Copies of this chain bind each other. A is one copy, B any other.
Amino acid sequence: MTEVVIAGLGQTEVGEHWSIGLRELAFMAIQSAIKDSGGLKPQALYVGNMLAPNLSNQAHLGVLLADYAGLTGIEAATVEAAGASGGAALRQGYLAVASGMVDVALVAGVEKFTDQVGPGVEEAVLTTSDSDFEAIQGITPTAQAALLMKRYMHEYQVPQNGFAGFALTAHANGAGNKFAMFQKAIKPETYAKAEMISDPLNMFDMAPNADGAAALVLTRRELLPPNGQNPLVRIIGSATSSDTLALHDRKDPLYFEAAQISAGKAMKQAGLMLDQINLFEYHDMYSIYAALSLEAVGFAIKGHGWKLAADESIARNGKIPCATMGGLKARGFPGGATGVYQAVEAAIQLRGQAGANQIVHAKIALIQSLGGPASTAVSHILTNEI
């Protein structure tokens, strides 16, 4: 089997970049990643983006970004799968390199929420749910997540503030990540006093929309430059699965089946058992998503996912460290760039370059990018084992 490796990585700070445009933001990440790879020459660019056609009136991003980055001539396309666009772009890059048809692929995720030359953010985000059957009724992803959280709390007798641990962990880790949107730890009382957004979901139960770009250079192991300066990071598992687009079409809305299936397939490909995974970058768009993802992947049985946050199992020195660089909650949610950020962060951990946030002896990382309530789930497994 071909060995696909991460040869280079780059990221911009996540936040509100009012003075930097979409293409400039992407370019910064692409430039960093190419430099970090020791100057490998990409033959293809797969862009993960979620909302630029609406927010920035800009489609055809593949060529726009290749052109702006001085890479005119290379293969270029955009991959979209709502919030999982970054994961889906990584998946396409992986397949291209694994096929042997592309030697060096760039995967770049970019999102610019502060553009808004088109319709507003809420309206744009609604295009990722079922437009004819959900959006038209006025149910937003956040309102839906609140209903899901309420049902979960009822079903499993979760106490008030039972989800606090997700935000506490994310912010504790964001404090050590200079690219994170929020670099400040929060206290339990901050969570407890937070403004209610959609009962029972408060301001700390959801990730902030943000601008950002991240990029990866993928290649096959044998094409790595000799004397490369970066520790080896291989992609040993890759899988995408889907569920119904609308939550109301599922038998059990509290079961993220696509998250389970895609993680299972990726682990099978890698030949791994769950207890070999040293860190998990989940898609904590909402704290309830984090809880359900932990259960879907198998780190907790049904109804117990929230306890892993409550008892600090997901902390850096816990049983299964999660959101190790802040996750969506504290690093921020730069839309279609998010899945690429996850890969960049996991690779930094596996290289041993995570500084204060370093997970000791980290060898295997699982990252999972979700679109909607796990309507799309893209899972990748990375390792530093030779």
Which residues of A line the B interface, CB within 8 A?
A: 2, 21, 44, 50-51, 53-54, 56-64, 66-67, 71-82, 88, 91-92, 95-96, 98-102, 117, 123, 126-132, 135, 238-246, 249, 257-258, 261, 371-372, 375-376
Contact = CB atoms under 8 A, between A and B. Distances in A.
A66 to B, nearest CB: 5
Contact of A242 (B72, B95, B101, B249): B72
B245 A56 contact: no
Name which of A54, A66, A80, A257 has the most chain B CB atoms within 10 A of its CB. A80
A51 B59 contact: yes
A101 B101 contact: no
Given A73-B241, A240-B44, A376-B76, A82 B66 contact: no
Given A79-B77, A79-B79, A81-B77, A127 B63 contact: no
A78 B81 contact: yes
A73 B261 contact: yes
Number of copies of this chain that the complex holds: 2
A80 B78 contact: yes
24 contacts: A21-B132, A59-B80, A59-B128, A60-B81, A62-B81, A62-B88, A62-B242, A63-B245, A63-B376, A64-B130, A67-B244, A73-B261, A74-B241, A74-B242, A75-B91, A75-B240, A75-B241, A76-B376, A77-B80, A77-B240, A79-B79, A92-B92, A95-B99, A117-B131
Name which of A66, A72, A78, A126 has the most chain B CB atoms within 10 A of its CB. A72
A50 B60 CA distance: 9
Contacts of A81: 60, 62-63, 76-78
A59 B73 contact: no
Contacts of A54: 53-54, 59
Contacts of A56: 131
Given A51-B53, A60-B376, A99-B100, 15 more contacts: A53-B59, A57-B126, A57-B131, A58-B131, A58-B132, A60-B371, A62-B80, A64-B130, A67-B242, A67-B244, A67-B246, A72-B243, A75-B240, A76-B376, A99-B99
Given A62-B81, A81-B76, A57 B135 contact: yes
Contacts of A98: 99-101
Nearest to A102: B95
Contacts of A75: 91, 239-242
A124 to B, nearest CB: 8
Contacts of A135: 57
Name which of A71, A79, A95, A244 has the most chain B CB atoms within 10 A of its CB. A95
Nearest to A83: B60
A50 B77 CA distance: 12
Contact of A59 (B50, B132, B238): B50
A54 B76 CA distance: 21
A44 B265 CA distance: 14
A67 B50 CA distance: 19
A60 B245 contact: yes
Contacts of A72: 242-244
A78 B371 CA distance: 12
A220 to B, nearest CB: 12
